[in-house]
Amino acid sequence: LVCELAGSACGCPYDRLVRISRAVSGIEMPGYISSCLSGVIPAVSLPLPQWVRVVTGKSLTSGDEPAANQPAKSDNWAPVVKNSKRQHTAGEGRAFLREFRRLISAARNTKRTGNQLARTRSKLELVKTLQLACESSGWSALQMMLAGWTVHLCRHGTRSKKGLAYSTVEKYSVLVASRLVPVSVNLDVYALDEVAYEEMYLRAIEREEPKRRFELACRLREMHAFFQDVYLMEDLDWSAIMGAAGGRAQTRFAEANIITSAEYRRALTALVDDASLGERRRWQYAGLLLMGFRFNLRFGEALRLRFTDVQRDGEQVYVWVHNSVFAETKSHAGVRVVPLIERLDALETRVLDRLLTAG
- Predicted local confidence at residue 223, as pLDDT: 93
- Predicted local confidence at residue 330, as pLDDT: 66
User: Does position 161 have pLDDT exceeding 50, yes or no?
Assistant: yes
Query: In the 8-state DSSP scheme, what is residue 310?
Result: E
User: Does position 126 have pLDDT exceeding 70, yes or no?
Assistant: yes
* 328: CB partners within 8 A, 6+ apart: 193, 195
Which class for 289: exposed (0-12), middle (13-18), buried (19 or more C-beta within 10 A)? buried
- Positive or negative torsion for Cα 201, 207, 211, 216: negative
- Residues of the chain with pLDDT > 90, as a percent, come to 29
Q: What is the pLDDT of residues 26-35, one digit of tens each?
A: 777 766 677 7
79 and 145 Cβ atoms separated by less than 8 Å: yes
User: Does position 65 have pLDDT exceeding 50, yes or no?
Assistant: no
Q: Looking at residues 227-253, what average pLDDT do you find? A: 78
